[in-house]
Amino acid sequence: MRSVFFAISLLLPLLASTAAYANENQPLLLLNEIRYSSTLTTSGQPSETQMRTVAEAGFERVIFLAFNDHRTAVPNEDRLVRSLGMEYMHIPVAWDAPTVSDFDNFASLMLTSEKTLVHCEVNFRASVFGFLYQVVYRGMPVEVARSLLTSIWVPNETWEAYIVTVLARQEIEYPDF
C-alpha cells in the first residue's frame, strides 16, 4: 500500500507540470489570435471572461495598442488586468497614422522574457507590432512572421508602408509578396 502512495506522490507533480505545459500551449480562443512565440501572443479585444483565461494561462503582462473608447473595449481594462495579477500597459496607436515611436515604445516594453498578450480591437495593429518585434528583435525570418500575420489579415497600404519603414530603419528588406 505504501508503494502505491509513494508512486502516486511521484506522479502528481509530473501530471501537474504536464497539464500546465498542455494548458500553456493551448490557444486562448481570442479573436484573431496569433502566437508568435512562447512569450508573445497577439489578439483582438479579449472580453472580461477571456482576460481571466489569459491570466490563468500564465500571462504576466497585457499591452493594449488601441484607444479605450472603441466599440468592444472592456471598461476599466487596466483595473481588471491588474486585479488578475498582470501588468497593464497602454500605447494608443492611431489606426490611420501609426508612428515609428509607437513601435519604439512597444519594443522597449518587450525587452523582457515575460509572457505577454498584445491586443487591439481586432488584432490588426497588434499583429503588425508582433510581426515587427519578432523580425527586428528575435530574428524570425520575414517570410515566417509574414505568414503568421497574413493568417488573419493582409495589411492595407498604410500598414504595409509602416512595416517597410520600420524594417528599413533596421536595414531589413521587406520583399514584395
Percent of the chain clearing pLDDT 70 (strictly above): 86
State the pLDDT at residue 8. 37
On whether residue 19 sits in a domain, the answer given is: no
| Residue 158 neighbours by CB distance under 10 Å | 13
Dihedral, CA of residue 141, residue 143, residue 144 and residue 146, to nearest 10:
120
pLDDT category of residue 25 using cuts at 50, 70 and 90:
low
Measured in Å, how far apart are the chain's first and last C-alpha atoms?
A: 65
Domain that holds residue 39: 29-169
Count of domains for the chain: 1
What's the per-residue H, E or C state across 34-54? EEEECCEEEEECCCHHHHHHH
On whether residue 11 sits in a domain, the answer given is: no
On whether residue 79 sits in a domain, the answer given is: yes
On whether residue 175 sits in a domain, the answer given is: no
State the pLDDT at residue 65. 98
pLDDT at 155 over 60: yes
d(CA 127, CA 124): 5
Question: What CATH number has the domain bearing residue 109?
Answer: 3.90.190.10
On whether residue 3 sits in a domain, the answer given is: no
On whether residue 94 sits in a domain, the answer given is: yes
State the pLDDT at residue 24. 57
On whether residue 1 sits in a domain, the answer given is: no
Distance of CA 152 to the CA centre of its chain: 14
- Tell me: the pLDDT tens digits for 90-134? 999 999 999 999 999 999 999 889 999 999 999 999 999 999 999
